[in-house]
Amino acid sequence: MKNFYRLGIERKILSGLWVMASGLLLLVGCSRKITESGQASFYGAGDGFNGKKTANGETFNKNKLTAAHKTLPFGTIVKVTNLSNGQSVKVRINDRGPFVKGRIIDLSEKAAKKIDMRTKGVAEVKLRYKKK
């Protein structure tokens, strides 16, 4: 008789652990990271954009770590990695663009310097961010 009772408790514990593990997997899945690859460009160096309003209403500052993306929500933090040298920078999306075919992100001048792409003007990059 004792063994049957003990078996019931063990099953309840195991089923409780299963429910907790399933919930944890669901939470991890909700905040999964997304990646994109393509070309990055930058703006703010003598092109007249510095000091102008961005799409979210902020004043653009070429010396801040910000970027333009066509669809990501404003405020999204994106890790941008230059695929030619492995250097990375984290930027905050505060503008829309780029509007050149094949480009997936437009970085501020400071962000472009951080990943050593300023002299070339464009670079193949990988973007990594959390889906909201």
More confident residue, 119 or 30: 119
Q: What is the mean pLDDT of residues 90-116?
A: 97
Interacting residues of 114 by C-beta distance below 8 A, sequence separation 6+? 65, 87, 89
Asked whether residue 130 carries a pLDDT value surpassing 70, the answer given is: yes
Segment 22-51, tens digit of pLDDT: 655 555 555 578 999 999 999 988 899 999
In this prediction, residue 11 has a pLDDT band, given cuts at 50, 70 and 90, of low
pTM for the whole thing?
0.76
| Euclidean distance between CA atoms 42 and 106, whole angstroms | 5
| Euclidean distance between CA atoms 11 and 7, whole angstroms | 6
| Euclidean distance between CA atoms 108 and 117, whole angstroms | 11
CA triple 38-87-118, angle to 5 deg: 70
